[in-house]
Structure 1
Amino acid sequence: MLVAGTQPGLQVKDINNSWHDVSCDPGCLAINTGDMLQEASAGYFPSTTHQIINPRDNKENVSRFSMPLFLHPRDSIKLSEKYTAREYLDERLTEIGLKG
C-alpha cells in the first residue's frame, strides 16, 4: 500500500510489457500486490512489476517522497497447497541470491 508520492515517477508494467504512470494526486492510494498475494490468491491478484523513474519533463531538482507500507504474513500461514509464507520467502530469497 502506498500513499501517493509527492512527485510523479512510479510506473507499473502491464501484461503487454508497456509502462504506465501511476497518479500522484493528493488523496490517492496505490495498492501494489506482490508475489505472496499472487500465490495466496491463485493468481487472482497478480504481482505487479513496477519501477521509479526520474520524470522526463521535470527541469527542477525536486525530491520525491513516498511512504510505502509492506505487509507480510506470519511464517506459518499457508499461502497455497505448495507453500507456507516462510517456505515461499526462503525460496524467493534463494532465487535472488540472498540466502544460500
Structure 2
Amino acid sequence: MRAAAHEDINLLTVLPASNEPGLQVRDVRGNWHDVPCDFGSIAVNCGDMLQLASGGDYPSTTHRVMNPIGEGATRSRLSLPLFLHPADDVRLSADRTAFEYLQERIAELRSQDLKAS
C-alpha cells in the first residue's frame, strides 16, 4: 500500500488525475472503488473541515492509494493534490475556528506519531 486509508484534515482536496492508477475511495458500505486516472480529469475530496462545517452533510472522503500489481509495480506514481483550507478566522462550528481545529488535529497527529515511535 502506498498510502493507508485516511481522510484529509482540510476543507477540500483537488486532485488532478495521476499518471498511474491506485487511488481508491470507500463508500458508505465500506466497499473500495478505483478512481479513474483519465487524462484531464479531476477528483475532489471532502475533508474533515467541510464535514465539521456542514454538520456531517458532506462527510470526509476516506481514501487510500494501492500499490500496482505486475508491470505497473515498477512505475512511479505522481500525484499533485491541492489542499484547500479556509482562512484561520472562519468558524467551522459554534466552538471552533479553522485555526483552532487545525491546531487540535496537528496535536492529535503528533501524539499518534510519538506513540508509534
TM-score interval for Structure 1 and Structure 2 normalised by the shorter chain: 0.7 to 0.9
Structure number having the greater helix percentage: 2
* Count of residue pairs brought into register by the alignment: 98
Aligned CA-pair RMSD: 1.7
| Counterpart position of 1:47 | 60
Greater RCO, CA 8 A, separation 6+ = 2
2:97 paired residue among 61, 84, 90: 84
Unaligned 5+ segments in structure 2 are 1-13, 112-117
Superposed CA offset, 1:55-85 (max 9, x none):
23x4241111121101111111111112100
Query: TM-score normalised to the size of structure 1?
Result: 0.87
Query: TM-score normalised to the size of structure 2?
Result: 0.76
Q: Does 1:59 pair with 2:85? A: no
SS of aligned partner of 2:75: coil
Equivalent residue runs for 1:1-100 within 5 Å? 1-56=14-69, 58-60=70-72, 61-97=74-110
Unaligned 5+ segments in structure 1 are none
Identity rate of aligned residues, in percent? 54
